[in-house]
Structure 1
Amino acid sequence: MTTRLIIQLAALLGALGVGIGAFGAHGLRPMLEASGRFDTFETAVRYQFYHTLALLAIGILLQVRPELRALGTTAWLWLGGVIIFSGSLYTLCFTGITKMGAVAPVGGLLLIAGWISLLLAARQV
């Protein structure tokens, strides 16, 4: 994964996080609170932003240290983790499909694997 792509993906995830977060907090808050899923929604947005910022940091670090190519694996794992973890929680919140809650741990495992990948890649620093 190129540094340009990583930074562009971080920018896209950040923009989506703001948009989805605002839409849910303002436009859909009554529905989310009525269903008891507002906390789940906030968790999805929060994890998306944590990993968006981490992804941005990886992109910047790769511009400074391009030889740390192993960080590309970290970026892919975090991207997949955000899509699956936050995406499944968003789907659960907006559609009520409760089975999506069972998908979230797969995304969580990808996020954890990304942090382990970062740990392993840091051995090259």
Structure 2
Amino acid sequence: IAAPQADMPTTTQLAAVSGAMAIGLGAFGAHGLKTKVDPAMIKIWETASHYHLVHSVALLAVSVGHGHLSKRSLRLAPPLFTAGMALGAITPIGGLSLIAGWLSLAL
């Protein structure tokens, strides 16, 4: 694997790693877990993998278009996204944190 480009923003690098992880984890769920866990759990895994991939693409879009975002948005959104991921199992706090993170980008 080549070293990252020196001029590539860290958020772009994180988006790329996150996207690769989303694909890898999705494949693991589809191929590695299918015969080992209940089908209902596979459905949960699929949903989580989908959200992960969608947010990876969104992170890439925010990284590429960061010049159009306010500094306040860029300070507020990351903690909200992190809280959303960390608290995802605590319904509805995780989802609400993710929603707040997205809305903070509109500020």
- Shorter-chain TM-score bucket reads 0.7 to 0.9
Report the residue type matching 2:49 in the other structure: V
Does residue 25 of the first structure (1) align with residue 30 of the second (2)?
yes
Larger proportion of helix? 1
Confirm or deny: 8 A CA contact 1:83 1:107 kept in the other structure.
yes
Percent of matched pairs sharing the same residue: 38
Distance 1:36 1:66, change over 3 A: closer
Shift of 1:104: 4.9
Aligned residues: 99
Distance 1:52 1:114, change over 3 A: same
Moved more, 15-24 or 67-76: 67-76
2:19 to 14, 18, 22: 14
Question: 1 or 2 for the larger relative contact order (CA 8 Å, sep ≥6)?
Answer: 1
Structure 2 unpaired stretches of 5+? 1-7
The CA RMSD measured in Å over matched residues stands at 2.3
Give the match for residue 92 of structure 1. Answer: none
User: Aligned runs of 1:1-125 on 2, under 5 Å?
Assistant: 4-32=9-37, 34=38, 36-62=40-66, 65=67, 68-72=70-74, 73-85=76-88, 101=89, 103-120=90-107
Structure 1 unpaired stretches of 5+? 86-100, 121-125
Tell me the TM-score normalized by structure 2: 0.75
Shift of 1:79: 4.2
Confirm or deny: 8 A CA contact 2:77 2:104 kept in the other structure.
yes
Confirm or deny: 8 A CA contact 1:10 1:53 kept in the other structure.
yes
Distance 1:15 1:107, change over 3 A: same
Distance 1:17 1:83, change over 3 A: farther
